[in-house]
């Protein structure tokens, strides 16, 4: 059988439109990576609307490591340099230094604390001193190549 497991969800355009609608409603989506790269699935929620319940689900049913994808401009504005100068990882995942909200968190690892960190990083007017570093949260700098397949960094 040559049918894709994605077939019940429509063609690629239908799936992208559905994902955008899910994001607009504050819901998450599952994005499958290219089988020639990491060949994995990523659970993705919009940073602006993620809540503690959704974060708990990511922690419980994912690997426990939750990343935050930020634009190159936002990483620069927040003074988030690459985690290492010479990225020797196979997939060249563009991790920055790790972060945590400078205020409003306890240990930094609870779902509530992780959401607080995300909100601090993506808040309008966020500044470098709104974040402590290094800490417990893993930002990734997004690439700027035009399509999901070519711009995927994680």
Domain boundaries in the chain? 66-141
Using left for φ > 0, alpha for ψ between -120 and 50, and beta otherwise, residue 117 falls in alpha
User: Looking at residue 7, what is its pLDDT?
Assistant: 83
User: Cα–Cα distances in Å, from 112 out to 101, 103, 117, 130?
Assistant: 11, 13, 9, 17
10-residue block means of pLDDT along the chain (154 residues)? 76 92 95 75 93 96 90 96 94 93 96 97 98 94 62 44
State whether residue 34 is helix, strand or coil.
coil
Residue with tokens 């599952």: 30
pTM greater than 0.75 (yes/no): yes
User: Looking at residue 153, what is its pLDDT?
Assistant: 45
User: Looking at residue 35, what is its pLDDT?
Assistant: 72
Contacts of 72 (CB under 8 A, 6+ apart): 141, 142, 144
């Amino acid at each position: 059988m040559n049918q894709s497991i994605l077939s019940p969800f429509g063609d690629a355009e239908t799936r992208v439109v559905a994902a955008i609608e899910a994001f607009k409603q504050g819901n998450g989506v599952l994005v499958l990576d290219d089988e020639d790269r990491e060949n994995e699935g990523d659970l993705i929620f919009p940073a602006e609307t993620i809540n503690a319940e959704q974060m708990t689900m990511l922690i419980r049913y994912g690997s426990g490591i939750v990343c935050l994808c930020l634009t190159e401009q936002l990483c620069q504005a927040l003074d988030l340099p690459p985690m290492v100068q010479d990225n020797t990882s196979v997939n060249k995942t563009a991790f920055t230094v790790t972060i945590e909200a400078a205020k409003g968190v306890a240990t930094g690892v609870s779902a509530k604390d992780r959401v607080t960190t995300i909100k601090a990083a993506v808040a309008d007017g966020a500044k470098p001193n709104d974040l402590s570093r290094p800490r417990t949260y893993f930002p990734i700098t997004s690439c700027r190549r035009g399509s999901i397949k070519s711009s995927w960094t994680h």
